[in-house]
Amino acid sequence: MKPMPAWSRRLLSRRLAILPPFLWMALFLLVPFLLVFKISFADLRFGIPPYTPLAQLEDYTLKLGLHLNAYYLLFTDSLYIATYLNSIKVAAVTTLCCALIGYPMAYYIAQSSPRARNLLLLAVVLPFWTSLLLRVYAWVGILRNDGLLNNFLLWLGVIDTPLEIYRTDLAVYIGLVYAYLPFFILPLYANLVKLDRRLLEAAYDLGARPFTAFFKVTLPLSLPGVIAGGMLVFIPTVGEYVIPEMLGGADTLMMGRIMWTEFFNNTDWPMAAAVTVVMVAILLVPLVIFQRNQLEQMNAGKGGGDAA
Amino acid sequence: MPAKGGVMQPDRTLKAIALTLGYAFLYVPIACLMVFSFNDSALMTSWSGFSFRWYLELFNDRALLSAAFLSLKIAALTATAAVIIGTWSGYVLARMGRFRGFTLYIGMLSAPLVIPEVVLGISLLLLFVEMGQLLGWPQGNGMFTIWVGHVTLCVAYVAIVIQSRIRDLDRSLEEAALDLGASPTRVFFLITVPLIAPALLAAWLLAFTLSLDDVVIASFLSGPGYTTLPLEVFSRVRLGLKPEINALATLFILVVGIFVIVANRLQWRGEAK
């Protein structure tokens, strides 16, 4: 056998190096999603699996069965439409609240001395390392009618009757902001800490007041960080299941919850698949923004994206 | 600069308010949970005396203990696989330049960071169901299917952490080894891996805790007899307060907290050198 030339061997080993992780993600992320898309066009049936096949060969006839009933229901039933709108609203309000609380925190952490910065950042990351489920559970004990918050307010004499927060939308907002706040702070901090301070000083030298300097210099420059953090909050919140389930009422409509009910309680897999497809369709634009942002940050980093 | 000195005062007050309120929001719930894990009463509403009662109950709770054991096993297997695949893909992202399909590559690797977990859960379940129909394997869900779901989620986190670490590395060491005739594989294992060892450990721990905490993916991919710890906890707390879960949460948060703080001190000292 003729030995391979060195350059083609290098090319081959390069391909081999790239391929395995690619295959894992393609097999366990891309292909499964295509299957969801396929099954969203199936019809419910009794048996294993509980949905009709897309194509069937019968008496030398290929029968294609594209059932649109799941989608028909999804686009006409007012309950489903209310669910999408509410999921988007909840995610948008959560993102806004995370921005209002998280921006000042990220801003002041970035302004601290390196030593204080390390500690403050650690305190933001620490909850992220501990169980989300258990931290959300902590809110149950605080927000219940006979919970710590109500007891405290009653004891202070601020209120006479307990506030109804637990099992309402307000409790869901509190839980979501609490759970996702670190996701907003971290990318924004990473952006703010790299900000060129000379630009701010130039603004001050030119007579800008701190307020103006912030809105004309700092805020626009930190926008990529805000977008990265905002997407890290907005996208998963749209499909969040655990937090609305634990803190929300029966009438807290969220897409993740509806999908869960269709799948586990009604065993209507085609319907659950169709809800998933609609969810991803809604998230497509935010996902593209997020990916772009990731790519830009990668290129901005040291080494750039130039070919080796 | 006079302008700066003039604004220092209100800025400092604002800073104190923003940071105090922010951190209080993050930490008060955790503190409440911990304090009330020592409450003698079964209610989390009023303090009736200090006791270790719930910790004792926790250690006699067979269902919780076996669920914890299963979860630790899955988490260790997940973290190991995710670090291998994630480091591999992180290296590809950082050092292989642009290749055809780069955008798809990075898209697939970063999607699990944000995509709702219910989407990952249902799509993988449907994959395994279809595979079972076509290939007769896997027969039913269990540890393997949960493991695949968790690895797919964690690879994304590991890849992002590792690729940024590798990008920050000084390239000259790797290039020197290559110039001296070492093969790229040798360079990777003898030069790159030792240099990123702390990041590898951090990524392993991150994947471990992500797997240990996951409810949603495991709900879809677990089968009878494979109840992980979060599944067991979730089935108990979705209906209300369970004091033994307070005790569990306190232990969990303390162990993880000490770990993270020690790791941070070591890293800080390493950087200060």
Domain locations along chain B = 37-272
Within a domain: A38:
no
pLDDT at residue B10 in the model: 62
Domain range B37-272, CATH class: mainly alpha
> Using CA atoms, how far apart are residues A270 and A263, in angstroms rounded to an integer?
9
pLDDT at residue B96 in the model: 82
With 80 as the cut, is the pLDDT of residue A8 above it?
A: no
Among the partner-chain residues B29, B45, B116, the one whose CB lies closest to the CB of A256 is: B116
End-to-end CA distance of chain A: 31
Q: Is B171 on the interface with A (CB under 8 A)?
A: yes
Q: What is the DSSP letter of A55?
A: E
Query: How crowded is residue A111: how many other Cβ atoms within 10 Å of its Cβ?
Result: 15
Residue B89: CB partners within 8 Å, gap ≥ 6? A21, A22, A25, B105, B109, B155, B159, B163
Among the partner-chain residues B1, B21, B256, the one whose CB lies closest to the CB of A130 is: B256
pLDDT at residue B8 in the model: 46
Within a domain: A85:
yes
Q: Is B14 on the interface with A (CB under 8 A)?
A: yes
Per-residue tokens: B125: 């379940």
Within a domain: A145:
yes
**What residues of B are in contact with residue A141 (Cβ under 8 Å)?**
32-33, 36, 44-45, 241, 246
Q: Which residue has the tokens 């914890």?
A: B68
Among the partner-chain residues B4, B113, B159, the one whose CB lies closest to the CB of A204 is: B4
Residue B127: CB partners within 8 Å, gap ≥ 6? A28, A31, A32, A35
pLDDT at residue A2 in the model: 59
> Using CA atoms, how far apart are residues B99 and B93, in angstroms rounded to an integer?
10
Q: In chain B, count H helices and then E strands.
A: 13, 0
Average pLDDT taken over every residue of chain A: 88
Q: Is A27 helix (H, G, I), strand (E, B) or coil?
A: helix
pLDDT at residue A92 in the model: 97
Q: B39 φ, ψ to 5°?
A: -80, 135
Among the partner-chain residues B23, B115, B249, the one whose CB lies closest to the CB of A137 is: B249
Candidates B15, B115, B208, B264, partner chain A, best to mutate (most A CBs within 10 A): B115
Q: Is B225 exposed, middle or buried (0-12, 13-18, 19+ CB in 10 A)?
A: exposed
**What residues of B are in contact with residue A140 (Cβ under 8 Å)?**
237, 240-241
Residue of A nearest to B203 (CA): A129
pLDDT at residue A226 in the model: 95
Bigger pLDDT: B265 vs A298: B265
pLDDT by residue (tens digit) across A194-208? 888 888 888 888 888
Bigger pLDDT: B207 vs A129: B207
SS percent in chain B: helix, strand, coil, step 5:
80, 0, 20
Contact A140 B237 (CB under 8 A): yes
> Using CA atoms, how far apart are residues A102 and B26, in angstroms rounded to an integer?
11
Which pLDDT band, with edges at 50, 70 and 90, does A50 fall under?
confident
> Using CA atoms, how far apart are residues B120 and A17, in angstroms rounded to an integer?
26
Residues 238-267 of B with CB under 8 A from A: 238, 240-241, 245-246, 248-249, 252-253, 256-257, 260-261, 264
Report the predicted TM-score, pTM, of the whole model to 2 decimal places.
0.91
- Per-range mean pLDDT, top range of A7-21, A207-221, B24-38: B24-38
CA A54 to chain centre: 31
CA A264 to chain centre: 22
Q: Is B143 on the interface with A (CB under 8 A)?
A: no
Which among A226, A234, A231 is positioned nearest to A102, based on CA atoms? A226
> Using CA atoms, how far apart are residues A181 and B96, in angstroms rounded to an integer?
34
Within a domain: A168:
yes
**What residues of A are in contact with residue B64 (Cβ under 8 Å)?**
none
The CATH number of whichever domain residue A138 belongs to comes to 1.10.3720.10
pLDDT at residue A296 in the model: 82
**Contact status, residue A276 vs residue B118, Cβ threshold 8 Å:** yes
Within a domain: A187:
yes
List the pLDDT tens digit at each of the 273 positions of chain B: 444 444 445 678 889 999 999 999 999 999 998 888 898 887 766 788 888 888 998 999 999 999 999 999 999 999 999 999 999 999 998 888 778 888 888 889 989 999 999 999 999 999 999 999 888 888 888 899 999 999 999 999 999 989 989 988 888 888 898 899 888 888 889 999 999 998 999 899 999 999 999 999 999 999 888 999 999 999 998 877 788 888 999 998 899 889 888 888 887 777 665
**Contact status, residue B122 vs residue A239, Cβ threshold 8 Å:** no
Q: At what angle do helices B62-95 and B102-114 cross, to 10 degrees?
A: 150
* Number of domains forming the structure of chain A: 1
Residue of B nearest to A208 (CA): B3
pLDDT at residue A238 in the model: 95
pLDDT at residue A308 in the model: 28
Residue of B nearest to A125 (CA): B260
With 80 as the cut, is the pLDDT of residue A9 above it?
A: no
Which among B105, B144, B109 is positioned nearest to B124, based on CA atoms? B144
Q: Is A20 exposed, middle or buried (0-12, 13-18, 19+ CB in 10 A)?
A: middle
Which among A229, A230, A258 is positioned nearest to A244, based on CA atoms? A258
> Using CA atoms, how far apart are residues B152 and A27, in angstroms rounded to an integer?
10
Within a domain: A5:
no
With 90 as the cut, is the pLDDT of residue A51 above it?
A: no
Within a domain: A51:
no
Give the DSSP letter string of A81-103.
HHHHHHHHHHHHHHHHHHHHHHH
Residue of B nearest to A22 (CA): B105
Number of A/B CB contacts below 8 angstroms equals: 270
pLDDT at residue A173 in the model: 97
Q: Which residue has the tokens 């393997």?
A: B144
Angle made by CA atoms A136, A87, A283, in degrees to the nearest 5: 105
Strands A61-64 and A55-58: antiparallel
Mean per-residue pLDDT for A301-307?
40
Q: Which residues pair with A63 in a beta bridge?
A: A56
Residue of B nearest to A30 (CA): B108
With 80 as the cut, is the pLDDT of residue A7 above it?
A: no
pLDDT at residue A298 in the model: 75
Within a domain: A55:
no
Q: A219 φ, ψ to 5°?
A: -60, -50
pLDDT by residue (tens digit) across B241-267? 788 888 999 998 899 889 888 888 887
> Using CA atoms, how far apart are residues B14 and A64, in angstroms rounded to an integer?
65
> Using CA atoms, how far apart are residues B166 and B196, in angstroms rounded to an integer?
7
Candidates A15, A33, A88, partner chain B, best to mutate (most B CBs within 10 A): A33
Residue type, B32: C
